[in-house]
Structure 1
Amino acid sequence: MIDGLPMPVPEPGLPDRVRIHEVGPRDGLQNEKTVVPVEVKAEFIRRLAAAGLGTVEATSFVHPKWVPQLADAEQLFPMLDGVGARLPVLVPNERGLDRALALGAREVAVFGSATESFAKANLNRTVDESLEMFAPVVARAREAGAGVRGYLSMCFGDPWEGAVPVERVVRVARRLLDLGCDELSLGDTIGVATPGHVGALLTALDAAGVPAGRLAVHFHDTYGQALANTLAALRHGVTTVDASAGGLGGCPYAKSATGNLATEDLVWMLDGLGIDTGVDLRLLTATSVWMADRLGRPSPSRTVRALAPQEN
Structure 2
Amino acid sequence: MYGLLILNDPSQAVIDIVFVHGLHGGRTKTWTKDDVLWPEELLPGDVPSARILTYGYDANVAHFWSRPADNKIDTFSNAFFSQLTNNRSEVDATNRPIIFVAHSLGGIVVANAIVDAATNSYGELSSCIRGIIFLGTPHKGSNKAKWADQARKFMTFFKSTNSELLKDLDEKSEKLAKIGDSFPTLLINRGKQSDTRIEIVCFYEGQPTVSGMIVDEDSATLPGYDKILLDANHSEMCKFASSTDSMYRQVVGYLIKWVKDFSKPIERQKEGGRNAYFHGTNYGLQQYSNTGTQTNNFGVR
Rg (Cα) greater in structure: 2
Please state which structure has a larger fraction of its residues in helix. 1
TM-score normalised per structure 1: 0.36
> Which has the higher relative contact order, 1 or 2, with Cα contacts under 8 A spaced 6 or more apart?
1
Please state which structure has a larger fraction of its residues in strand. 2
